[in-house]
Amino acid sequence: MDDTIVIAVLAGTTREQRESIKAARYIARLGEQQPNVEIIFVDPKEFNFPGDGNDPEGKDPRYSDITARADAFFVVTPEYNHSFPGSLKRMLDSELANYNHKPVAFAGCSNGNWGGTRAIESLVPAVRETGLVVMSWDVYFPYVQKVFNEQGEIHEEFRERYEKSLGKLYAELLLFARTLKQMRKELEAQNA
């Protein structure tokens, strides 16, 4: 039996000057250190989501494959105008069936002291509608431009704090991922 958990880490924006991509890549690297975890990093710049292209169904087949394989999701969103980016909304709206009964964790980023809290507050109701199971707490990166250097490495003064909080959030996400994976198998067997 394969007990590997596949987690898709979603970067939340396509903007050129996005600092949140550094946090998303950092979160993905920490996820890769978890035992029996496979991380798939999703940069929306590399996909063609609804409203962005020619697919009549509004789906990118590569993203459809990722969401079908994923047992869990970790969304990293910047805060734009007290909310989350439209590119993230298009990405999430494109795959409703593949999200059902899978857990999702959030990290918020901002260039101010709120760290993306308002983005996550507005994201939670939209994500729950997709069937994703939202974790009970989040991680925030206030002043994200000061947390990471130009190469995307976390400054040493922040390392212990974020490794500890992200480690706890990954532990919760993995617990839910394993539990819900088993539940989906049981539901599938009942419906067979």
User: Residue ranges per domain, the chain?
Assistant: 5-191
How is residue 75 annotated by DSSP? E
pLDDT at 54 over 80: no
pLDDT at 33 over 50: yes
Give exposure, 134-150, as e/b (b: 16+ Cβ within 10 Å): bbeebbbbbebeebbee
Higher per-residue confidence, 192 vs 24: 24
CATH of domain 5-191: 3.40.50.360
pLDDT at 185 over 60: yes
Q: How far apart are CA 189 and CA 192, in angstroms?
A: 5
Task: Compute the average pLDDT of residues 11-15.
Answer: 89
Task: Compute the average pLDDT of residues 135-139.
Answer: 95
Average pLDDT of the residues of the chain: 92
Work out the percent of the chain whose per-residue pLDDT is above 90.
Answer: 72
With 0.85 as the threshold, say if the pTM is over it.
Answer: yes
